[in-house]
């Protein structure tokens, strides 16, 4: 039944490419941002622990995998079957402790072997698999994580914190210098150090910032709602009024 449904799904995608004017005009490039959007919607469903939404968003994400693959198939590059074969072979190849004779003691050894296998496959660097298009904060954490698996890692929480404070001091020096380019560079270094501090303390920096963003949204929404009771908007209120409401919002 599952195999039949999957074939039906792909056949529908191929038919849409032939018979739907909109689907027919799309390219890998034209739908790439929608693919990213679907990935973020999947992430939101996971964060909200909403499994009904997650089921739907995974379907949308699968649609994009099929969409990109069918377009590539039409152009003679590869098929969805090639995609599935490739990932199947990769999973087997990168799990020799499951499908081979390699022995591992813990997940740390699994990840170290994983990176070694990737290099053996032709990767030029352990960092080359981190997409440049990835959100910068998440990319920083992923690069640090991958480098740490090679042994390039801080030895103590104190060292990580000291580096973070060092970068903050350099940021303050750049601010005092009045050199905007230097300030931007040092701000980036400080963010990178903060991401490393988060990773070392088992905090996902992207999640942490998203939580802070949501907290800000909730509190600002409270300010808007309270002002709306007197038919006003934040633009009609004084800063002092809004700050007072902000403090009240923190109670909820």
Each domain of the chain, given as residue ranges in start order, spans: 2-93, 136-203, 207-249
What is the per-residue pLDDT for 12? 96
Quick one: CA dihedral 3, 7, 10, 12, positive or negative? negative
- The answer to whether 134 touches 127, Cβ cutoff 8 Å, is no
* CATH fold of 136-203: Helix Hairpins (1.10.287)
pLDDT tens track, the chain, 252 positions: 577 788 999 999 999 999 999 999 999 999 999 999 999 999 999 989 999 999 999 999 999 999 999 999 999 999 999 999 999 999 999 999 989 888 888 888 887 888 788 888 888 888 988 889 888 999 999 999 989 888 899 999 999 999 999 999 999 999 999 999 999 999 999 999 999 999 999 999 988 998 999 999 999 999 999 999 999 999 999 999 999 999 999 998
Count CB-CB contacts under 10 A for residue 231: 7
Written as one string, the DSSP assignment of 42-104 is HHHHHHTT-HHHHHHHHHHHHHHHHHHHHHHHHTTS--HHHHHHHHHHHHHHT-HHHHSS---
> Is 240 strand, coil or helix?
helix
The CATH code of the domain at 2-93 is 1.10.287.1080
């Amino acid at each position: 039944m599952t195999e039949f449904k999957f074939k039906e799904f792909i056949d529908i995608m191929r038919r849409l490419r032939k018979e739907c004017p909109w689907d027919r005009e799309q390219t890998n490039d034209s739908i790439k941002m929608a693919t990213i959007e679907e990935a973020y919607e999947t992430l939101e469903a996971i964060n909200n622990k909403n499994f009904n939404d997650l089921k739907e968003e995974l379907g949308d994400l699968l649609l994009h995998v099929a969409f990109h693959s069918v377009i590539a198939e039409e152009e003679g590059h590869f098929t969805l079957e090639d995609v599935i074969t490739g990932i199947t072979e990769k999973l087997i190849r990168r799990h020799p402790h499951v499908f081979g004779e390699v022995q591992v003691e813990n997940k740390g050894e699994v990840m170290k072997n994983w990176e070694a296998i990737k290099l053996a496959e032709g990767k030029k660097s352990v960092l080359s698999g981190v997409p440049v298009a990835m959100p910068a904060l998440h990319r920083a954490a992923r690069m640090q994580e991958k480098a740490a698996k090679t042994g390039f890692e801080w030895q103590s929480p104190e060292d990580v914190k000291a580096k973070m404070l060092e970068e903050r001091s350099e940021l303050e020096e750049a601010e005092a210098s009045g050199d905007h380019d230097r300030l931007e560079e040092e701000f980036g270094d400080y963010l990178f150090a903060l991401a490393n501090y988060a990773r070392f303390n088992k905090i996902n920096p992207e999640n942490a910032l998203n939580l802070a963003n949501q907290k800000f949204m909730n509190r600002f929404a409270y300010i808007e709602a309270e002002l709306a009771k007197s038919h006003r908007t934040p633009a009609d209120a004084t800063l002092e009024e809004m700050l007072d409401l902000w403090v009240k919002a923190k109670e909820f």
